[in-house]
Structure 1
Amino acid sequence: MKAQHPTAHDRLVILAGDGKVLKGSAREGRSALSFLSVFFHELALTVAQVDQAGRHEAKGMQDLLPTLTTLFGNGWLMTLDAAYTERELTTRIDEAGGAYLVPLKNNTRSLKEWAMFAFTYPAHDHVVNVERRSGEIWERRTSVITGEQVPEEIKEGLCGVQTLIRREHQVTRRDGTQRVEVRYAVSSRLLTAQEAERIWRGHWGIENRSHHCRDVVLHEDACRLRRGAQGRAMLNGVIVALLNGQTRQITALVRRLTIDPLLALQLLIPELASR
């Protein structure tokens, strides 16, 4: 990672944290193994991982923070899902020199209600993105409230909150019917509406570009390994990063590698390609 991105310490690095259950590792009387991991979007690489070991996700994720500081210094921001929205973890992230973006959902109902109240007043910074997908219109409206305008109750509930985010997602189907979903989040970094939209939306890269690929391409969920599963999962993450560095059509590339194993070796030793 350092070889590929030697300037990572000098700019904001966006990371995503999430858990993954290895379904095939389950045994009678023993639950499946579950690993918490942190994903570096630029390299499509899992840079840190720890066994959840029956702990709450937020507790396990704290073990990875020293590694992130070693890799990225004080210039990283990690996006997380609602399971990690709690004061202790956000405080630890702040103490480690990083920043976070976490959603407010029903597990933080009072904070979510304060966020809803705050956005009854017009937000001065907002952005609209519109996409057309298979005849449907997807419209996303993202607004932010920053600094002193963020309710004190939210700042007291989570450590270092600087930005409050509202994201409205509206889908208009071909028949004219609409589906509207509104979500709220907070970040300990001062963000514009455009930055908040890009970072929050990008969170699911950990699922789409890592976890899903590891299952579909490398059949990780089908593997019944328990001893050494941690190492294998990390190796799978490195392989996915190598494949992502070559193409977005990973499945097609894997078919080529099956036919031509020398091509796989060239991914690891680029000098062979010139011989």
Structure 2
Amino acid sequence: MQVVPDPRDVRGRRYGLSSLLAVAVCAVLAGACTFTAVHDWVRDLDRPAWRKLGFADTVPAATTLWRLLIRIDAGVLQQVLTRWLRERSTPLQVTGRRWRLVIAIDGKVLRGARTVDGRQVHLLAAYDTRTGIVLGQVQIETKSKEIPAFTPLLDQVVAQLGSLRGVVIVADALHAQTGHARAVAARGGDFMVAAKANQPRLYAQLKALPWHEIQAGGQQREVGHGRRETRTVKAVTVHTDGGLAFPHAQQAVRITRTRTIKGKTSRETAYYTMSLPASLAQPDDLGAFARNEWLIENALHHVRDVTFREDAHRARTGTGPAVFATLRNTAIGYHRLNGATNIARATRTANRRSTQLIDTVT
């Protein structure tokens, strides 16, 4: 925690920065959803717990915590907490020549939060689909600004991992940008991205391939929650003149999803480019990579909304919205590392075991 810059004036500092940040981390791990809830959590602890957190006979007022958390550098805090989580995770083990670590990148609007000029707060995050840890997060201005934020976010990921070697970056069609593909390749990684009408030439190339002549290379079926879904993957190495209209693309991929819900069947076709050759990424691998791209939405953003009520949090001041999003990322990653599949239940358990939680964090 000592590497997080303290934004407070040196005069009048009554409580240590590490103690205040430990309170914020512990409270959100225990399910706190607002600044007020963070203060309520620490206020309700007994005195031995206060002492473990570094307090004597009093704890900081709600305004003291709030004034700090709206001024902390959210980017630095995310990097520090990410390093703490990664130190707790099991060592990375490569399980075969074709194995890759998949990092999903996606943006999220905090619907209840606003910047000082009234705009909604928009964050772009990189999510380690193996561990459930957010490796980096940057705040951007509008949806269209996700594009220039992509490379700074990659640099945060590289700062955590050391390099992108053995890493596949997956993202939605907004990030089917030639600059993104070159940025990933320059850092030693590979890139799988969906293609839609925002890249008309590439999309036309992919759609025009003779898919009816290409044999399906992989198929997955799932049944649950009243739904049947089949995903069929076709992939081909493209040898057209000049290749695909996308840097470093070695394979064209088509994934067809057929869903049956309450007797009604729908079909959706998605096209992708992949920078790994067929020898290193077979159709089953490609299907898994595309499936992992949805994890950042389902296992991170959805949980922040449903369990931590993020969209209802009307944070409006300073870095407060991004800081609290960072704390939520940390809570989700922490509980995922502990094997939790139900984050709401995990936060309730952590709240009942506050002494153990404080020992872990401090």
* TM-score strictly above 0.5: yes
* Runs of 5+ consecutive residues of structure 2 not aligned to the other structure: 1-82
1:144 Cα deviation (Å)? 0.6
Which has the higher mean CA deviation after the structures are superposed, 38-47 or 118-127? Answer: 118-127
Quote the Cα distance in structure 1 between the aligned partners of 2:206 and 2:176: 14
Deviation at residue 135 of structure 1 after TM alignment:
4.5
Match of 1:252 in 2: 345
Contact 1:125/1:145, CA 8 A, preserved across alignment: no
1:193 is matched with: 283
The alpha-carbon deviation at position 251 of structure 1 amounts to 1.1
Q: Tell me by how many angstroms 1:5 deviates.
A: 4.9
Identify which of 82, 85, 90 aligns with 2:181. Answer: 90
Amino acid of the structure 2 residue aligned with 1:100: F
Number of the residue aligned with 2:265: 178
Percent identical pairs in the alignment equals 19
Aligned to 2:21: none
Summarize the Cα distance change of 1:67–1:227 in structure 2 as closer, same or farther, 3 Å threshold.
same
Q: 2:132 aligns with which of 17, 27, 44?
A: 44
Partner of 1:65 in structure 2?
154
Distance 1:150 1:46 in 2: 37
Moved more, 184-193 or 118-127: 118-127
1:272 equivalent in structure 2: none
8 Å contact from structure 1 (residues 150, 164) kept in 2: no
Amino acid at match of 1:50: V
User: Does 58-67 or 69-78 show the bigger shift?
Assistant: 69-78
Report deviation, 1:119: 3.4
Q: Retained in 2: the 8 A contact 1:79–1:203?
A: yes
Task: Pick closer, same or farther for the CA change 1:231–1:145 going to 2, 3 Å.
Answer: same
For residues 208-235 of structure 1, the C-alpha deviation after alignment (integer angstroms, 9 at most, x for no partner) is 1111212222232223143223333222
- Superposed, which structure 2 residues align to 1:60-209 within 5 Å? 60-70=149-159, 71-73=161-163, 74-120=165-211, 122-124=213-215, 126-146=217-237, 149-152=238-241, 155=244, 157-175=245-263, 177-190=264-277, 191-209=281-299
| Closer/same/farther in 2, CA of residues 133 and 51 from structure 1, 3 Å limit | same
Q: What secondary structure sits across from 2:217 in the alignment?
A: strand
Report how many residues are paired: 265
Alignment of 1:205-216 (within 5 A): 205-216=295-306
> Aligned partners of 1:210, 1:8: CA distance in 2, in Å?
23
- Displacement of 1:172 in angstroms is 3.0
Report if aligned partners of 2:184, 2:191 keep a CA contact under 8 Å in 1: yes
Partner of 2:145: 56
Deviation at 1:262, TM superposition (A): 2.6
The 3 A distance-change label for structure 1 pair 43 and 267 is farther
Structure 1: any 5+ residue segments left out of the alignment?
Answer: 270-275
What TM-score does the superposition give when structure 2 sets the normalisation length? 0.67
Give the superposition deviation at 1:123: 2.4
Structure ranking higher on relative contact order (CA contacts 8 Å, 6+ apart): 2
Cα deviations by residue, 1:107-135 (Å, 9 ceiling, x for unpaired): 12221221122133522561111222344
Distance in 1 between residues matched to 2:129 and 2:336, nearest whole Å: 11
Q: Which has the larger radius of gyration?
A: 2
Cα deviation for residue 153 of structure 1 reads: 5.8
Segment of structure 1 superposing worse, 21-30 or 33-42? 21-30
Aligned-residue CA RMSD in angstroms?
2.5
SS at match of 1:43: coil
